[in-house]
Amino acid sequence: MGNTFYITTPIYYPSDKLHIGHSYTTVAADTMSRYKKLRGFDVMFLTGTDEHGQKIERKAEMAGKTPKEYVDGIVGWIINLWKTLDIQYDGFIRTTDEIHEKCVQKIFTKLYEKGDIYKGVYEGLYCTPCESFFTKHQLKDGKCPDCGREVESVKEDAYFFKLSKYQDALISHIENNPDFISPQTRQNEMINNFLKPGLEDLCVSRTTFKWGIPVEFDPGHVVYVWLDALSNYISALGYLSEDDSKYKKYWPCDVHLVGKEIVRFHTIIWPAMLLALGEELPKQVFGHGWLVIDGGKMSKSFGNVVDPEILVNKYGVDAIRYFLMREVAFGQDGNFTNEALITRINSDLANDLGNLLSRTVGMIDKYFGGKLPKEQEANDLDAEIKALAAAVITRYEAAMEKMLFSDALTEVWYFVRRVNKYIDETSPWVLAKDAAQSAKLAGVLYTLAESLRIISVLISPFMPNTPKAISSQLNISGAELQTWDSLKTFGLLEREVAISKGEIVFPRIDIKKELEELANAQKGGA
Ligand code: MSP
């Protein structure tokens, strides 16, 4: 309805602390959410935690805690991590929240009453870390095809969801809505590997453990954790509750952002549940790639996780957010290395952006005692800078609308570098030697300051703090100078720019020394 935008991340298992790979999904969603807020949308950005299931129950047991005690500790830690990463969510749902548990029970009962859930016996294989059922022929070398770990044989009374009934409807929905599964390659994978070979009904309850939402009319059964988890996207909006105004306002979701390994759950099981409930389907499921280490998935069991807190403490949140969104084309896998991170910080942030700001502020200080005079004269290159700003804004917008974050940043940095080159071309230090060139010099410095204003608006969805530093050093105080609309006019900044010198925004890092320190810190050393 109207100008709304609903975006979600997956809800995270609070089984262990999260690593930089998990942060990647959330930073991307936050970036998109901030971009849409900048564009004036009424945004609902939902994240949360997926707290039930056998995996968590076992972890808690090992830790000598009740499952709830166990998850409470980690959920608190996750909420803090999102604060550290400046994640500005609008809703945080825990699957242990009463509103969620009641909603899931109602969904289960509704589907049962409709005949889309029926009772039977489940006999098959289960991967507990992935909370996934498999048949023998789906295994890879006898192990879980998703994570490569051992699976367990299970045989128990269970309820089944008639997934097979929705196979044709799903295929036609996917074919008729080319943006439903994005990027395109994931769509082909779903159709060819899962839908066309045929869907089997899905086991949606378990009886051999307790940590889950009891089936309302048969409490010996707990609801299968994926059916429980997927429902978060609507339970958080009050679906089937007394107050479903948020559901009415925000559903259908504009985009579910998920990692590639869970696209299957979001584009087959989830839409089938919604079809069975008679609800609209989400507009898009976007499956992004993984951050990998030496080509392999980052995972606690492989001992190769990178701790986001260590990185933020060392380099600041904006640098980490920038790196995550810039380094890897969203949708593809990307290798994470400390070296790539520090190289990016040094080249893009310290050299390009940091220098542009400190040179601009430094020159306004040095040549005009901190305040530009009113008398300013344009030079031959100004028209080009203006035109480039307009072109970059258009291309940035096109990239952001497709969630091509890296492309959007590439555009901004193309502009940053061009403006740095403009300094060399106009040589303010030469103009400064001649008093008759004062208006020309002031014009050059104004173009720099105004370019920085434009840059700071464009980077604001990615880097929440750097625009504040730019604004404070250039005394950009009016909120109207920091809106999307303000990008339409090059020259909004008042002419008499008065600077307040501040700290260097991104100090250069000594890469050799830093790599050693970082390796130690990540090993749990320093
Ligand atoms: N609880 C389920 C999701 C239920 S949504 C209804 C789950 N949780 S998770 O904690 O294992 O993963 C959450 C998200 O983090 C997933 O989208 C996953 O792809 C993402 N990532 C985990 N490791 C990752 C990388 N190394 N790189 C990028 N994303 C990664 O799945």
How confident is the model over 333-348, as a mean pLDDT? 94
* Cβ of 229 below 6 Å from ligand 1: yes
Give the chain's mean pLDDT.
94
448 phi/psi in degrees, rounded to 5: -65, -45
Residue nearest to atom 17 of ligand 1 (CA): 259
Q: Does residue 525 surpass a pLDDT of 50?
A: no
Q: What is the pLDDT of residue 524?
A: 59
Which residue owns the Cα nearest ligand 1 atom 25?
A: 21
- Asked if residue 24 has its Cβ within 6 Å of ligand 1, the reply is yes
CA of 227 to the centre of ligand 1 (A): 16
In short, whether 130's Cβ falls inside 6 Å of ligand 1 is no
Which among 8, 18, 19, 22 is the best mutation to test ligand 1's pocket, defined by most ligand atoms within 8 Å of the CB?
22
Which pLDDT belongs to residue 2? 57
User: Which pLDDT tens digit goes with each residue over 206-257?
Assistant: 998 899 999 999 999 999 999 999 999 999 999 999 999 999 999 999 999 9
Determine the length of the chain. 526
Ligand 1 within 6 A of 227 CB? no
What is the Å distance from ligand 1's center to 22 Cα?
Answer: 6
233 lines ligand 1 (CB under 6 A): no
Can you tell me the mean pLDDT for 393-414?
97
Cβ(259) to ligand 1 under 6 A? yes
Task: Measure 286 CA to ligand 1 centroid, in angstroms.
Answer: 13
Q: Do domains 4-288 and 337-488 have the same CATH topology?
A: no
With vertex at residue 254, the alpha carbon angle to CA 251 and CA 258, rounded to the nearest 5 degrees, is 115
pLDDT of 362-403, one tens digit each?
A: 999 999 999 999 999 999 999 999 999 999 999 999 999 999
**What percentage of the chain exceeds 70 in pLDDT?**
99
pLDDT at 1: 45
Q: Which of 262, 268, 273, 292 to mutate to test the pocket of ligand 1 (most atoms within 8 A of CB)?
A: 262
- Report which ligand 1 atom has the smallest distance to the Cα of 12: 10
Ligand 1: distance of its center to the CA of 8 in Å?
Answer: 12
Q: Is the CB of 258 under 6 A from ligand 1?
A: yes
**Residue range 337-488, CATH number:** 1.10.730.10
CB 418 within 8 A of CB 385: yes
Cis check: omega of the bond before 219, within 30 degrees of 0: no
CATH superfamily of 4-288: HUPs (3.40.50.620)
What per-residue confidence (pLDDT) applies to 415?
98
Q: CA distances (Å), 353 to each of 342, 436, 510, in order?
A: 15, 30, 18
Span 332-359, average pLDDT: 95
- Beta bridge mates, 91: 46
Residue with the smallest CA separation from ligand 1 atom 12 is 12
- CA 8/CA 432 separation, integer angstroms: 53
Mean pLDDT of 457-467: 98
Q: What percent of the chain has pLDDT over 90?
A: 85
Among 14-23, 83-92, 255-264, 380-389, which is the least confidently predicted range? Answer: 14-23
Measuring CA to CA, which residue among 8, 511, 1 is closest to residue 230? 8
Interval 422-439 mean pLDDT: 97
> Whole-prediction pTM value?
0.94
With a cut of 50, say whether residue 526 has pLDDT above it. Answer: no
The answer, yes or no, to whether any atom of ligand 1 lies below 6 A from the CB of 276, is no
Task: Report the first-to-last Cα separation within the chain, whole angstroms.
Answer: 52
- Is the pLDDT reported for residue 336 higher than 80? yes
Q: Which two tokens stand for residue 142?
A: 């006898």
Q: Is 22 in the pocket of ligand 1 (CB under 6 A)?
A: yes
| String of DSSP letters for 273-304 | HHHHHT-PPPS-EEEE--EEETTEE--GGGT-
DSSP E strands: which ranges in 248-404?
A: 255-259, 285-288, 291-293, 296-297, 334-335
CA distance 257 to 270: 14
- Give the atom of ligand 1 at the shortest distance from the alpha carbon of 265: 6
Domain residue spans of the chain: 4-288, 337-488
Nearest protein CA to atom 10 of ligand 1, as residue: 12
pLDDT tens readout for residues 153-188 = 988 899 999 999 999 999 999 999 999 999 988 999
pLDDT score recorded for residue 297: 76
> pLDDT (tens digit, 9 = 90+) per residue, 294-316?
778 787 777 788 899 999 999 99
